Chain A
Amino acid sequence: MLPSFKTFAAALTLLSAAAQAAVVTYNWNITYVNANPDGLYERRVIGVNGVFPPPPIEVTVNDTLVINAINQLDVPTSLHAHGLFQVGNNQMDGPSMVTQCPFPPGANFTYTIPTVNQTGTYWIHGHNLGQYVDGLRAPLIIHAINETYTYDEEYTVAFADWYHQEHAPLLAFYLSIYNPSGAEPIPQSGLINQMTNATFAFVPGKTYRLRVINMSALSIFHFHIDGHEFDIIEVDGIDVQKANVTTFPIAAAQRYSVLVTAKNSTSNNYLIHGDMDPMMYDVVPPNLVLNITGTIVYAPDAPLAPIEYSDWAAFEDATLVPVLAQPTSPYTTQNVLTAAFYLMTDYTNKAVFNDITYVMPKVPSLYTALSMGNLSSNPQVYGPNAHALIASHNEWFEIVINNDDTGNHPFHLHGHVFQIVGRSEGLYDGSTPYPYYDASTNPNYANPMRRDTMLVPAGTNAAIRFQANNPGVWFFHCHIEWHLEAGLAITLIEAPEVMPSVLTVDPQHYEQCAVQGIPYQGNAAGNAGLNLTGANFGPSILPGKFTAKGIVALVFTIIAALLGLVTVVWYAHDDDLALAQASLAEAAEKNKAAAESEELSSL
């Protein structure tokens, strides 16, 4: 019999949905460009296709995003689509020496990225040598087919801090012996959409979605709009129930979407504010403009409404409620990671998780996992300073992050969003049960807020939890670029036993490693088994004890002092005259004896 009309209609919808899942291709020639985004200083930046800033990437959910990246810089590079899950696709995640070798100048690397099961606001940036700070970054928007909230139009408001010097010399100073306190280089300005004087046209009565992104190396921006309230509707790609606020802070790599309703008149234009938080800087230079603005334009010549100053009211992202509820489960594995900074044995100031500073292995960790067979579940093979944590497939994995530093850190996990299941003051040592959120501390404790980049303020801790259902090697690190390069990172080896059946690496990627002399098989030293001779290892924390050199020096100073004191006593002994007289008498005696013997002999 003929299929009913209903089934026919259903089949048609399915087909059209499948047809809508397109392959969206971007060709990215990554090049150096000269630009002057803040109008204060022209410098060399990294752009795409000869253009700075790189244009945003937009796809619809279920599309396959293809980025043909060609490296036309003079150093190797790689790209990371921040926040994308890369399910079964870990080899396209991007962090250099974690999931791939950076691809060399002249080479091309095609990132094929699925976008199933996630919508919202993301960004894409360089993940080698801090290149994103030099400009290799752009918003990445995944549109839903049916958005949860209705709005008329949308804009992207991407904040970023901006340096006048290139990243490489700044990094060289930051990690040198001349920076023992680990002071992060301070930016010279802040930008919106990598320019100044950004404008957003508003039409009275319409509702706008503002996708707020922070693409900074370091800075936190406090977001507020003169004369307008807004509702937070999305956090790091997770739709949330509307939360009405007047201001919120956004840390490096975080994203928020807000709904703003335009006013009904065109009598004024209004400023959008991004106030850079001075607490992130060691010193605030007098000519640094902290409060940057863009303009919401209702009418081209309308006067600006009076500027409002925000009090930067406290904001707790854990109280936001995800629209799609996901209950939590008790953990199977819990790791307590304490973040801190110390002066190391190489006299540089470095970051550590549990006293280990991250150092890139000789072989990308994913390639190690894929080539070590059963040993891939042994954290040792990833190197002494890769700080590998092993997660079994589908287990509930929990990390408690202690921030034992005086600065605030935004921590980011690749390949996942994680649930925020608790926050508390001080440091958690694991000796008592963790004070998770419950009905009294957080109303939505049963549907915890989830996101991929979370700010842990100084001297506090937070517990995050996720299910290890995405086999791959996922980087977990502070997203302050300076701190990542100082070693505030760990490598999560998720379901290593499942990886070979789920992940495939394009042989071209291995070739690119070989071309640069980077080994792509074996453990962190490129050897088989557990032989880690030659592995990259990092400095350890300065013990502050005596070395052989010190003991020798101390002994010599003590000897010198003792000799001196003995000499003083000897000097003070008032025996000169007596000695002289005694020696005279002796001489007289001798003479006498000599004279006598002479007499005797002459007889």
Chain B
Amino acid sequence: MAGTDYFSIPIFFIIFRETTEAAIIVSVLLSFLSQVLTEDPAMKKRLSRQVWGGTALGLTISLAIGAAFIVVWNKYGHNLWASSEGIWVGCFSLVAVLMITVMGVAMLRTTQMQEKWKGKLSKAMDAENARGLGNQSRRYALFILPLITVLREGLEAIVFIGGVTFTEQAKAIPAAVVVGVFCGLLVGYILYRGGNGMSLHRFFIGSTCLLLLLAAGLVAKGIASFEAYTWAKKIHAQGDDSATYDPRVNVWGLKCCDPNNNNAGGWQLFNAILGWSNVASIGTIVGYILYWLVVIAWLVYMKLKRRRAAASRAAMEDLDATEFVGEKQEIGTDSSTHSDTAKDLEGDRIEETPALDSNPVDLKKL
């Protein structure tokens, strides 16, 4: 199976993730509209169309930019790096690792995302109602929001893909993009239909696990790329020496199971998802294990930080409950404040957006 020649797994996951997020936002908007505007079907229809329109335009623009970027890059960028390909592949593999890891971990906060957006919308709608619906400038708020969101998601995806594309072939990109988009839309649809947050949560845990496995494999592959480059220089390789390796640091070198062998489809898949290679060195093994240790340490750190913050908040609530009954409302149900606090708990990486049509919010940094 030369499947991985035509289907880039990292790109699939990136597109999937970005599409899912965009789909979440759109589905939240649409279901919100159905809930809020039950008495006014005409308004609901108009606003729904705005949402779809904004989404579609955002998608089109970002796809166009993405395609152009990839074409230009693959046509001109590749030639620039041809002679020192090993080093560039290695570098960009490691950059991709960073991006995928951050994205994968952030993906775990999706349910909070949903809550956050619902909160934002209701706050915005309240503001709208206060000034009167039908106001011209705010008529298009529901067009602009999805447009900006989808555009932002799309451009983010392009940046991610740009980082990963060095390690992927151009012909592997289209199929991965199409399937990723399809899967993301599927998830959004499920959400819209009221899939409960819990099973979605499990789904995101699963995809994060896969993404981190991918990233760990990329670490090994990036290091292998560096090592292959230096070894080739040492032996003055003539191009057909690609199968050799530095025996002094080698940990295993198998005759079988070579992912570079076009007939070994299964091993190619292993290589794409897990970073498997029939040649492993001290560098690749240590790098792989170290990556997991770093991820584990980071996750543990963040979790413990959250627990402390939650403990202090719970204590505060407890205090409020016993002493300041009246002010409980300010703290408890207002989800935007929730998100404020949530932001504080996670670290101050984002600015909160008070209004809908101002600065885009980076959903990932929850």
Contacts and interface: CB of A to CB of B under 8 A. Distances in A.
B303 A561 contact: no
A564 B296 contact: yes
A568 B108 contact: yes
Interface stretch (B7-15, B158-166, B237-245): B237-245
A577 B208 contact: no
B26 interface: no
Contacts of B274: 561
A581 B318 CA distance: 8
A563 B280 CA distance: 21
Given A282-B238, A550-B280, A567-B300, A577 B314 contact: yes
A177 interface: yes
Interface in B99-119: 105, 108, 111-112
A557 B315 contact: no
B292 A560 contact: yes
Interface string B271-307: 0001000001000010011001101100110110011
Contacts of B315: 580, 584
Nearest to A177: B247
Contacts of B300: 567, 571
B311 A568 contact: no
A554 B252 contact: yes
Interface string A461-481: 000000000000000000000
Interface stretch (A7-15, A87-95, A110-118, A538-546): A538-546
A340 to B, nearest CB: 15
Interface in A220-247: none
B296 A563 contact: yes
A178 B293 contact: no
B311 A544 contact: no
A561 to B, nearest CB: 6
A577 B314 CA distance: 7
A560 B293 contact: yes
A571 B213 contact: no
A166 to B, nearest CB: 20
B235 interface: yes
B255 A571 contact: no
- Counting chain B CB atoms within 10 Å of each CB, which of A347, A569, A576 scores highest? A576
A283 B289 CA distance: 41
B201 to A, nearest CB: 7
Nearest to B311: A580
A183 B244 CA distance: 13
Contacts of A179: 235
B209 A565 contact: yes
A285 to B, nearest CB: 12
A378 B118 CA distance: 90
A289 interface: no
Given A550-B251, A576-B306, A557 B241 contact: no
B289 A584 contact: no
B183 to A, nearest CB: 20
A181 B293 contact: no
B254 interface: yes
Interface residues of A, number: 42
A580 B310 contact: yes
A547 interface: yes
B131 interface: no
A547 B307 CA distance: 45
A557 B287 CA distance: 10
B299 A567 contact: yes
A583 B312 CA distance: 11
Contacts of B309: 576
Nearest to A569: B205
A309 interface: no
Contacts of B265: none
B185 interface: no
A567 B295 contact: yes
Contacts of B212: 564-565, 568
Interface in B218-254: 234-235, 238, 240-241, 244, 247-248, 251-254
A48 B280 CA distance: 52
A571 B205 CA distance: 10
A568 B204 CA distance: 11
Contacts of A177: 247-248
Contacts of A579: 307, 310-311
A543 B213 contact: no
Contact of A546 (B111, B234, B254, B296): B254
A304 interface: no
A183 B255 CA distance: 21
A241 B180 CA distance: 77
Contacts of A347: 247
A581 B241 contact: no
Contacts of A568: 105, 108, 205, 208-209, 212, 295, 299
B13 to A, nearest CB: 15
Contacts of B205: 568-569, 572
Contacts of B302: 571
Contact of A544 (B105, B255, B280): B255
Nearest to A562: B292
A311 interface: no
8 contacts: A177-B247, A549-B252, A560-B292, A560-B293, A572-B208, A576-B303, A579-B307, A581-B314
Interface of A: 177-181, 183, 282-283, 343, 347, 542-547, 549-550, 553-554, 556-557, 560-561, 563-565, 567-572, 574, 576-577, 579-581, 583-584, 588
Given A563-B296, A564-B292, 13 more contacts: A180-B235, A283-B238, A347-B247, A553-B251, A556-B285, A557-B288, A560-B293, A564-B216, A565-B213, A568-B205, A568-B208, A568-B209, A576-B306
In order of increasing CB-CB distance, the 3 nearest A-B pairs are: A544-B255, A550-B252, A347-B247
